């Protein structure tokens, strides 16, 4: 139910664990280069294609595993560490555990998922109550209460609710209503008539809905599938684009509870507000897309009740398909795995079981991970790196030639209020209210989703919890939260290739240093720069500085829109702008921080590579990746991050230090004329 307000390093969240076999850091004289030399393709010049120069042999030989839609640094770390996560879960499942204990909940949740015989005998019956509730609705007036009930249990609906800090008053929590309800990845999948590939997805989607409804016992599955597709298409027509939704000012629309009926007069708001649990807890909400709710009101009025019932049945089935019998699981994978992502095989059951348990009990498992596998000295080194990056950013702001002293002062004030969070939270989530049964997988998932819903809604009217984390410690990712003005680095990202405890500083500044710089830069990207140091949406820029900033970001949009990973499909420069700013600025700041760390002394040459070469190689190898074509199309349509190849090459082309280090000259393919290079922070 939580809307994605965090600016993360990657969109898809990968989980994993640092290896227990990691040794303590070696003495500086013994540290390795940290560069994977065996993956280099020396037949490709660094000056022409740095990504392939550094990763070419890997690109030629690495195969995407059959159960994956992509492969690379992030996914490999996730996959390599799943057995450690399994070990924690299996240890919890041993012996008799006290009812309600962490071990009982972890062990029984996993056992329920792994009991295939039980799930086969149940079929879709665990959802019988939900289906009956849907069919019992007598008229459209009853849809509001029904949608509220389904929302509490994690079913994707035409609109939903998120709880976060009020963008213009960061001392308060607010309920935010936002659009949703599509079964395909993006509105383009429904609306782009000139794309044959998307048309093929649409046809196969209808077939998929029909087969799934039939498995749920629907005697009119074919007709209902067509009706559901028509309904979702109408929703897509009135939805805002992902680029529009990046504008925090445009999506901040404060509406008094009593006036929600003016947006959707045909909707029973009281029943919905009571059902989701926010009635009486707030006098107003934020409506992210007002015109969408107005359009939705017309869609509800123009769609018959039978179609709504079919749609909600399908949405419920889709939300719980992973936890049912084999026929449902296989059919869901056939479309979402094979067709939309190009994945060849379903993940092994134990891996899906681990993901399920972690999805419900993430911090409970994270607490054990920290105790078992995370070396304390790694957090200390990370704290030092963050401090150095913040210091470099502070210096950089003062040297900007495009920003006025007035705006620089505000930028420095914001930077001074940044809150770093490293490795793990100081306060852990409470799961005491969750009941987990060894023979009730769907019930366990429903109860865990309701627990999280209630946890979120329960924040309304209470003080801001600044100790809260938006990711678990075992997540291989990092994020910036503009409303908290915080940068967060979970423990699991502090391992190679991001952070190598045994490597020289150069590669770590290029890798994890650029990650730190990336997250700091989100506070000053085209979205984050609209928030002040207290997390409030406030314009602290002069008009001239806005114009200078817009000119630079416009250049960046044009650069990235020229990139095309597949024929006919280009990077969306406006959708990816925030992440591209963060990549470019983060690497520039990391380079300055690395230089400062040398304190005027020359860097050692290791493996024949200078410190500066290792720095940029550390950055380039982080983005080593390859992706199946179907998954790439979905990424280009939905992901605010550019594909890995362009996060590497696209960023490096704007870095003066890269030109100096590798002797890039006019005529080289990586070369950009100085006037075309974009340096923001």
Looking at the predicted structure, is the pLDDT value of residue 66 above 50?
yes
364-407: pLDDT as tens digits:
999 999 999 998 888 998 999 999 999 999 999 999 999 999 99
Q: Token match 């509870």: residue?
A: 257
139-191: pLDDT as tens digits:
999 999 999 999 999 999 999 999 999 999 999 999 999 999 999 999 999 99
Axis-axis angle for helices 269-276, 143-152 (nearest 10): 20
Distance CA 675, CA 170 (A): 39
Distance CA 482, CA 174 (A): 15
Residue 202 near residue 189 (C-beta atoms within 8 A): yes
Distance CA 146, CA 272 (A): 8
The residue ranges of DSSP E strands in 203-298, in sequence order, are 254-256, 284-287
Between 203 and 1, name the one with better pLDDT.
203
Distance CA 394, CA 416 (A): 9
DSSP-assigned states of every residue in 181-202: --SSSSTHHHH-TT-HHHHHHH
4-34: pLDDT as tens digits:
457 787 744 332 222 222 333 333 455 899 9
Identify the band that residue 95 occupies on the pLDDT scale cut at 50, 70 and 90: confident
> What 3-state class would DSSP assign to 484?
coil
Residue 191 near residue 235 (C-beta atoms within 8 A): no
Q: Nearest to residue 43, comparing CAs of 19, 60, 31, 27?
A: 60
565-603: pLDDT as tens digits:
999 999 999 999 999 999 999 999 999 999 999 999 999
The secondary structure of residue 284, as a DSSP letter, is: E
Residue 161 near residue 177 (C-beta atoms within 8 A): yes
The token pair at 28 is: 């500086």
538-567: pLDDT as tens digits:
999 999 999 999 999 999 999 999 999 999
Q: For 7-26, what is the HEC assignment?
A: EECCCCCEECCCCCCCCCCC
The secondary structure of residue 420, as a DSSP letter, is: E
285-330: pLDDT as tens digits:
999 999 999 999 999 999 999 999 999 999 999 999 999 999 999 9
Q: Compute the residue count for the chain.
A: 681
* C-alpha radius of gyration, the chain, whole number: 25
% of the chain beyond a pLDDT of 90: 93
Q: Phi and psi of 514, rounded to 5°?
A: -70, -30
Q: What is the mean pLDDT of residues 640-665?
A: 98
Q: What is the mean pLDDT of residues 505-512?
A: 96
Looking at the predicted structure, is the pLDDT value of residue 50 above 80?
yes
% of the chain beyond a pLDDT of 70: 96
Q: What is the mean pLDDT of residues 599-620?
A: 97
What's the N-to-C CA distance of the chain in angstroms? 34
Looking at the predicted structure, is the pLDDT value of residue 1 above 80?
no
> What 3-state class would DSSP assign to 363?
helix
Looking at the predicted structure, is the pLDDT value of residue 68 above 80?
yes
Q: What is the mean pLDDT of residues 239-257?
A: 98
Degrees to nearest 5, angle at CA 56 with 54 and 62: 120
Backbone CA torsion sign across 237, 243, 247, 248: positive
194 burial class (0-12, 13-18, 19+ CB within 10 angstroms)? Answer: exposed
pLDDT of residue 5: 59
Q: Tell me, which fold does domain 37-62+376-425+469-676 have in CATH? A: Collagenase (Catalytic Domain) (3.40.390)
Residue 585 near residue 517 (C-beta atoms within 8 A): yes
Residue 557 near residue 624 (C-beta atoms within 8 A): no
Which H or E element spans position 169? strand 169-179
Residue 527 near residue 8 (C-beta atoms within 8 A): no
Between 648 and 11, name the one with better pLDDT.
648
Distance CA 536, CA 527 (A): 12
Its CATH architecture, for the domain 126-305, is: Orthogonal Bundle (1.10)
Per-domain residue ranges for the chain?
37-62+376-425+469-676, 126-305
Q: How far is CA 513 from the centre of its chain?
A: 20
108-126: pLDDT as tens digits:
999 999 999 999 999 999 9
Q: Token match 């702001």: residue?
A: 397
Neighbours of 279 (CB within 10 A): 14
Degrees to nearest 5, angle at CA 297 with 296 and 302: 95
pLDDT of residue 30: 59
> What 3-state class would DSSP assign to 441?
helix
The token pair at 132 is: 């009956």
Distance CA 579, CA 475 (A): 19
Axis-axis angle for helices 221-238, 305-320 (nearest 10): 90
Degrees to nearest 5, angle at CA 283 with 280 and 289: 115
Q: What is the mean pLDDT of residues 506-518?
A: 97
pLDDT of residue 7: 77
552 burial class (0-12, 13-18, 19+ CB within 10 angstroms)? Answer: middle
Neighbours of 454 (CB within 10 A): 12
pLDDT of residue 29: 52
Count Cα neighbours of 68 within 13 Å in the Cβ-side half-sphere.
18
pTM as predicted:
0.94
Q: Nearest to residue 263, comparing CAs of 231, 237, 234, 238?
A: 238
Residue 522 near residue 7 (C-beta atoms within 8 A): yes
624-637: pLDDT as tens digits:
999 999 999 999 99
């Amino acid at each position: 139910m939580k809307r994605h307000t965090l600016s993360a390093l990657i969109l898809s969240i990968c989980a994993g664990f640092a290896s227990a076999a990691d040794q303590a850091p070696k003495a500086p004289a013994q540290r390795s280069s940290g560069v994977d030399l065996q993956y280099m393709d020396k037949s490709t010049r660094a000056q022409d294609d740095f990504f392939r120069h550094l990763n070419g042999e890997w690109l030629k030989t690495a195969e995407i595993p059959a159960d994956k839609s992509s492969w690379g640094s992030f996914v490999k770390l996730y996959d390599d560490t799943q057995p450690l996560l399994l070990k924690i879960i299996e240890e919890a499942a041993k012996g008799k555990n006290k009812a309600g204990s962490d071990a009982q909940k972890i062990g029984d949740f996993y056992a329920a998922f792994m009991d295939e015989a039980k799930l086969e005998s149940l079929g879709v019956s665990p959802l019988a109550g939900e289906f009956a509730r849907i069919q019992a609705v007598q008229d459209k007036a009853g849809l509001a209460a029904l949608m509220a009930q389904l929302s509490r249990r994690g079913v994707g609906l035409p609109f939903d609710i998120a709880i976060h800090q009020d963008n213009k008053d960061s001392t308060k929590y607010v309920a935010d209503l936002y659009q949703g309800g599509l079964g395909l990845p993006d509105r383009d999948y429904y609306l782009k008539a000139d794309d044959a590939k998307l048309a093929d997805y649409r046809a196969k989607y209808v077939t998929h809905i029909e087969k799934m409804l039939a498995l749920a016992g629907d005697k009119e599955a074919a007709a209902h599938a067509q009706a559901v597709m028509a309904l979702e298409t109408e929703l897509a027509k009135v939805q805002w684009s992902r680029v529009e939704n990046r504008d925090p000012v445009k999506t901040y629309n404060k509406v008094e509870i009593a006036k929600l009926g003016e947006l959707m007069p045909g909707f029973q708001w009281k029943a919905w507000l009571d059902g989701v649990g926010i009635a009486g807890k707030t006098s107003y909400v934020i409506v992210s897309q007002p015109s969408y709710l107005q359009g939705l009101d017309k869609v509800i009025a123009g769609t018959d009740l039978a179609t709504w019932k079919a749609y909600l049945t399908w949405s419920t089935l889709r939300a719980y398909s992973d936890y049912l019998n084999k026929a449902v699981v296989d059919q869901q994978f056939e479309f979402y795995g094979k067709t939309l992502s190009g994945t060849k095989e379903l993940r092994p059951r134990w891996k899906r079981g681990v993901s399920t348990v972690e999805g419900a009990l993430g911090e409970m498992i994270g607490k054990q991970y920290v105790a078992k596998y995370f070396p304390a000295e790694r957090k200390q080194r990370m704290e030092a790196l963050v401090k150095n990056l913040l210091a470099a950013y502070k210096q950089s702001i003062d040297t900007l030639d495009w920003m006025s002293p007035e705006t620089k002062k505000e930028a420095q004030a914001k930077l001074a209020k940044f809150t770093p969070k490293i490795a793990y939270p100081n306060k852990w989530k409470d799961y005491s209210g969750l009941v987990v049964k060894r023979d009730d997988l769907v019930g366990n998932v429903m109860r865990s989703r309701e627990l999280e819903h209630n946890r979120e809604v329960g924040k309304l009217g209470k003080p801001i919890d600044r100790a809260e984390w938006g990711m678990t410690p075992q997540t291989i990712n990092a994020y910036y939260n503009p409303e908290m003005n915080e940068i967060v680095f979970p423990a699991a990202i502090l391992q190679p290739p991001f952070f190598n405890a045994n490597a020289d500083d150069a590669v770590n500044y290029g890798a994890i240093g650029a990650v730190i710089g990336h997250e700091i830069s989100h506070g000053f990207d085209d979205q984050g720069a609209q928030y002040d140091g207290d997390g409030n949406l406030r314009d602290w820029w002069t008009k001239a500085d806005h114009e200078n900033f817009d000119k630079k970001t416009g250049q960046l949009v044009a650069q990235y829109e020229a990139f095309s990973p597949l024929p006919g499909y280009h990077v969306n420069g406006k959708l990816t702008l925030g992440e591209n700013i963060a990549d470019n600025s983060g690497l520039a700041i990391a380079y300055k921080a690395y230089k400062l760390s040398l304190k005027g002394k020359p860097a050692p040459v290791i493996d024949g590579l200078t410190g500066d070469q290792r720095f940029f190689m550390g950055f380039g190898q982080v983005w080593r990746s390859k992706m199946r074509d179907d998954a790439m199309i979905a990424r280009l349509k939905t992901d605010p991050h550019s594909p890995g190849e362009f996060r590497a090459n696209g960023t490096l082309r704007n870095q003066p230090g890269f030109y100096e280090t590798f002797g890039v000259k006019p005529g080289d393919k990586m070369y950009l004329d100085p006037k075309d290079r974009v340096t923001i922070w």
